A and B are shown apart, each in its own frame.
Chain A
Amino acid sequence: MTSPDTVLIIDDEPRTRQAIAKIVAGMGYAALEAPDGKEALRLHALNKEAIVAVTLNLVMSGMNGRETLEAFSREAPFLPIVISSGLEPAAVQLSGRVPGSPGVVYLGKPYETRQLQEALQRVIGEMKRSGGAPR
């Protein structure tokens, strides 16, 4: 079965996940939602083929965004990631594939629909160009 291209939405706030799901739906992507990093890794492991990009919140209960980013950096080094956070970029200390690395951008909340769409297109495009896209 060929799964539709899917964006994995990782955020502990259900309404945020829903809003982002609507935005990616507007781009023609399916959405998978995870409330924390652990669930996200599980879903990713199950849907590696389908998932084309990830939106990642940083402050979450359970496995937080920083740890999740590190885990994805190891397990899916070519996965396009949009970090979607209410924190100031300067206030966070990240490791692994930090924003600015190919296929990773930081998008400060709140943002317009258009901005997220552009960010997703950009990271997916970057990964395709570097030849590391999973599919």
Chain B
Amino acid sequence: MARPRSARETLRLWVFPPTIPETEPARRRSRTLRFTSIATLTIGVVMLGALMVAEPSTVGRRLGTLAVVALLCGIAFAAGKREQYFLGGWILTGGLILLVTVRAWSLGGLYSPVASLYLVFVLMGGVILGRSGSVGIALTCAVAATVLYAGHRSGSIPVPALDFSPGGVLLTIVMAILLSFSLQVMIGNTFRYTLRRAENELAERRVAQHKLGERVKELGLLHHVAQATQRQSISDEALLRDIVAMMPEAWQYPEVTAARITLDDFAVASPGWRETEWMQSTQFVSGGKTGSISVVYTEQRPEADEGPFLREERSLIDSVAEMVVVHLDSMRSRHELEDLVAKRTAELREASASLAASLAKLQELEALRDDLVQMIVHDMRGQLLVVMANLEFARDAVHGQPKADINDALAAANGVNTMANDLLDVSRLEEGKMPISKEPTNLTELVAGVRVAVAAMDSSRSIHASDTLVFANCDAALIRRVLQNLVGNAIKHTPAGGTIRLDVSLRGPRVRVSVQDEGPGVPADSRDRIFQKFSAARKDSKYHSAGLGLAFCRLAVEAHGGTIGVEQAEPRGSIFSFEIPA
């Protein structure tokens, strides 16, 4: 919005107008100069000739004047030829002012009719030199008039006798009129020229604007297509339908434009579609499918680059096709991937169902096995009671070797009982059904108790136990059985005369109990396996028990949140040890 100007600003602009760039080309001004030179010379010749005829007494003077005018016009014309319109303009106008002033000096000064020609020269200066030139010429004229005035004042110029003939004055006036007319013609030409130029510029601008609008529409379409293709969830058909609906608007004559996209058997078109002779098409291929995009004008439109279509519209339709192909390709890959994922998921689901069924079957079998174990152990215990009681009766009735034999049999019966207990406990520990009742326990005492019990039954191996006092919060009965198992194992693998060492120690927040034997040791690759059920470290192994003892130990220790393991002892044997929280 324009800011209102202050009075001072207005005055400043009036005195010092803003510099307006000289838009008129030098060529045109030079042409004006040449035209002015010819017009001036023609008028001068005609008018001075007429004056010479009308006033034969002035022929000499008039001829001199004509010669000067001709010279000035010649120079100006030559300058105009060289596009030196400024120099030529000044020479012509300035020369004429000087000529008129000199003539006026001798012909009555300001009273002379030729003085009126100053007015014409200002106009001439304006036409040739532009605004700044006309100011210069006006000032020159003013100076010349002032000189004449000074001449009058000083008496140098005699008061005119007013002996001008009316015909001479008329001719001078006519000359001024003709000069003014020719100048007016030139001014008019300049105006028309300027106007035409402005009109041309405006027209060019309109064309540029129109073209810009077209480009914006085309970019808009590309943007919409890009956005549509970004939507992963859209089906191919829906996408093509969207695009075809957006297309006509992007062409130069949307009101007569229709579009169609085909993809194999599928075709979708915008309203008003029909094949016409004004059609633009492009083909594309995606994943074995062939497609086309076509645009028609339903009415004739002016010829452009490709029929009535623009070069840019060709790029546009090709770009749309390219974007469609990229989208179709990516969607196809995506669908293939999804299909693959779905297939794999189904396979996994199937595998998982099959696993679940297997698991259920296994659990059923496990439950059956547990019931069986319970039953067998229960019945075994009943039978063992009979065996052991009868052995005791028999033992009490005999002496000597038979008594020792019966004691062996009793020990074996006890061993069977231990195995039965292990079997049951392993089963219960695995199921997490074994109740663990933890209480502060003197482990040193517990170890010593086991040592004494074992030593009483086996005198052929020496058993040592450390006496470091260590307590742990544990299920004493369960840990005792773990220790009994480990010691029993050690006795089994230590040759007669060997030594077994029991050790208890505190390890930070945990306690460690270890049993070292002098057996053959456990191969490194079997050290984890021997704690599994029914495993034997070696085929020829002396680890020939049902394999439940160590499994029981592991489960019992783990039920306490502890760990169990075996390592090689030096120089021979194994160290079985477990750690549980203190």
Main secondary structure of the interface of A (DSSP, over half): mixed
CB pair B380–A19 under 8 Å, yes or no, is no
CB pair A86–B378 under 8 Å, yes or no, is yes
Residues of B within 8 A of A16 (CB): 382, 385-386
* Among B374, B389, B424, residue most surrounded by chain A Cβ atoms (within 10 Å): B389
Complex Cα spacing A110 to B413, Å: 10
CB pair B388–A59 under 8 Å, yes or no, is no
Bitwise interface map of A from 10 to 22 toward B, beta carbon under 8 Å scored 1, else 0? 0001011001101
Bitwise interface map of B from 387 to 424 toward A, beta carbon under 8 Å scored 1, else 0? 11110110000000000000000000100010000001
Q: B178 within 8 Å of A by Cβ?
A: no
Q: Across the two chains, which residue of chain B brings its CB closest to A59?
A: B378
* Among A16, A57, A91, A109, residue most surrounded by chain B Cβ atoms (within 10 Å): A109
CB pair A22–B393 under 8 Å, yes or no, is yes
Q: B147 within 8 Å of A by Cβ?
A: no
Residues of B within 8 A of A15 (CB): 386
Q: B377 within 8 Å of A by Cβ?
A: yes
Known: A22-B393, A90-B435, A91-B374. A112 touches B388 (CB 8 A): yes
Q: A113 within 8 Å of B by Cβ?
A: yes
Smallest CB separation, B372 vs chain A (Å)? 14
Main secondary structure of the interface of B (DSSP, over half): helix
Q: Across the two chains, which residue of chain A brings its CB closest to B424?
A: A88
Complex Cα spacing A135 to B379, Å: 36
Residues of A within 8 A of B377 (CB): 86
Which size class do B's interface residues fall under?
20 to 34
CB pair A109–B392 under 8 Å, yes or no, is no
Q: Across the two chains, which residue of chain A brings its CB closest to B395?
A: A113
Mark out the residues of chain A between 79 and 135 whose CB falls within 8 Å of any chain B CB in the assembled complex: 84-88, 90-91, 108-113
Complex Cα spacing A59 to B377, Å: 13
* Among A22, A86, A87, A111, residue most surrounded by chain B Cβ atoms (within 10 Å): A86
Which size class do A's interface residues fall under?
20 to 34
Smallest CB separation, B72 vs chain A (Å)? 141
Smallest CB separation, A122 vs chain B (Å)? 19
Complex Cα spacing A87 to B389, Å: 18
CB pair A13–B382 under 8 Å, yes or no, is yes
Smallest CB separation, B431 vs chain A (Å)? 12
Q: B381 within 8 Å of A by Cβ?
A: yes
Smallest CB separation, A89 vs chain B (Å)? 10
Q: Across the two chains, which residue of chain A brings its CB closest to B387?
A: A110
CB pair B390–A108 under 8 Å, yes or no, is no
Mark out the residues of chain B between 331 and 384 whose CB falls within 8 Å of any chain A CB in the assembled complex: 374, 377-382, 384
Complex Cα spacing A19 to B413, Å: 16
Q: A63 within 8 Å of B by Cβ?
A: no
Q: Which 8 A-B pairs have the closest CB atoms?
A: A86-B381, A110-B384, A19-B389, A110-B385, A86-B378, A109-B381, A109-B385, A15-B386
27 contacts between A and B (CB under 8 A): A13-B382, A13-B386, A15-B386, A16-B385, A19-B389, A20-B389, A22-B389, A22-B393, A23-B389, A57-B382, A59-B378, A86-B377, A86-B378, A86-B379, A86-B381, A86-B382, A88-B424, A90-B435, A91-B374, A109-B382, A110-B382, A110-B384, A110-B388, A110-B389, A112-B388, A112-B392, A113-B389
